[in-house]
Structure 1
């Protein structure tokens, strides 16, 4: 099994996971053209996709889906609640967009549950609820041949369930969205947005990820990809240092051999093979 984060940030999120002949796209928040370009850049013909999973309806995870579907034959996997929210979403879109989305999804949807396992080809998916201000947001354990990847994006705080689902994963993709001080000082964001990001249904900070790495990470993952970094309220070097210092602060008996990888909004990460 291998994966690459095609892009991650407030401008769009998309992850490609491959096992055997199965190719699955998790989220489609980049533009359709950019998703197709980056898929080709990492050596994947978009026509090879066996499915697109939508974790929730927000534009930075779903904004490119409608146009992308014009050139794909595969189904879209999403929950019923997310489907209804996606086709009725009006923030930042034209008044005709909901109708276009409804038409694009016609006979293309595989309805899933945010708490029930499903499979696509050779990949097994185990979704779990994650706290975020979307209607039915979920994280994922993705399994193949006994190896698991954990995916947690857009997470307001790390719950007991999230902690448990990240144990035993060979690799983890987790958001490290912001530095609280940088966020509070950001002159571009209104206070209401800052409050949303800082809330328990908002986004994880570097400090929250560091606390999890220090106190709850089981050390099993060979790679941890820090994703969804804010371009205005974070810095890639700061996120990396925070995570690496947390790993070094662990009990010496439990020092993991884990590589911290920083995802980018502008280009795919290198392939990570497990």
Structure 2
């Protein structure tokens, strides 16, 4: 069964992406309502029964919805969160305690690899954003039949790129990265100065230039091309797809011209890509991902 990835919606009105590997389906964030998610999953060739678990990046309201948490409880789908997220949701979400009582809450910690299945590991990496804590994820998987490997990096909200993220995302096969705004459009917008300063700050959102510079850094330190680059979380008011794509293409044209460039939108899923596997010995995952990973027994829905 091929490894597949798509974004179901990306932007300030709601975020979700879907990764499917060896029969395990993972929603990254659930910032869309259950009916919208059903439609978006169907458009991507999947259904709710294909969702094995949901993992949250952070707690801004465009990354989780209370009605969707109810849906997870109804379908016995586990929710994977940081302990700080769990404590916050337990106090402020009417729906989260039901997930806790049903035994459907699982936690991850910064920098500690998490075994989602024996063939799929997730490395959470804390990133700077004004919803603390916020995380990016590196996913590493293996094909149980061939032993070949693949990797994907996902970072949707961050104000700048810390060294820990550059290390974690080294040699990923697919990269999904925030290209939030054009700096000049941001500065000339009708937004309040407070909001503009927040977005442009070190704990706000990545600009097109910042994102392109990070892609360049990753490409300069690898010998194989990047399979695909997904551009995430474009601002409707302070960015355009052509501007974001132009920034990325300046880098890709020279360093990885075969990379498939996909720009996510708010209102529809992106095309689903098949993540190609490679011989496991090259390139190797980062040291933290190769360390011993404690496998935790699967919760309901994670078999």
Tell me, yes or no, whether TM beats 0.5.
yes
Residues 98-157 of structure 1: CA deviation (Å, up to 9, x unaligned): 333333443220122122111223421111111112222111111111210000110110
Q: 1 or 2 for the larger relative contact order (CA 8 Å, sep ≥6)?
A: 2
- Cα deviation, residue 205, structure 1: 0.3
Equivalent of residue 100 in structure 1, options 82, 89, 95:
95
**In structure 1, distance between residues paired with 2:77 and 2:53:** 5
Residue 271 of structure 2 corresponds to 270
Confirm whether residue 148 of structure 1 aligns to residue 151 of structure 2: yes
List alignment gaps of at least 5 residues for structure 2: 143-148, 276-303
**C-alpha contact 1:114 1:136 (8 A) present in aligned 2:** no
Residue 262 of structure 2 aligns with which residue?
A: 261
Change (3 A) 1:111 1:242: same
1:128 matched residue in structure 2: 125
Q: Alpha-carbon deviations, 1:205-262, whole Å to 9, x = none?
A: 00101222334434642100001001111001110011101233x5xxx445212110
Residue aligning to 2:289? none
Q: For residue 88 of structure 1, report the CA deviation from its aligned partner.
A: 4.1
1:47-62 matches, cutoff 5 A: 47-62=49-64
- Aligned mates of 2:256, 2:40 — CA distance in 1: 35
RMSD, aligned α-carbons? 1.7
Equivalents in 1 of 2:168, 2:240: separation in Å? 27
Aligned pairs for 1:218-237 (under 5 A) are 218=222, 220-237=225-242
In 2: Cα distance, 1:201 partner to 1:240 partner? 23
Q: Could you give the per-residue CA deviations for residues 1-27 of structure 1, whole angstroms, max 9, x where no partner exists?
A: 110111101111101000111111110
TM-score, scaled relative to structure 1: 0.89
Q: Work out whether 1:110 is the aligned partner of 2:106.
A: yes
Please state if 1:4 is matched with 2:6: yes
Aligned partners of 2:108 and 2:124 also within 8 Å? no
TM-score (norm 2): 0.81
Q: Is the 8 A contact 1:140 1:152 kept in 2?
A: yes
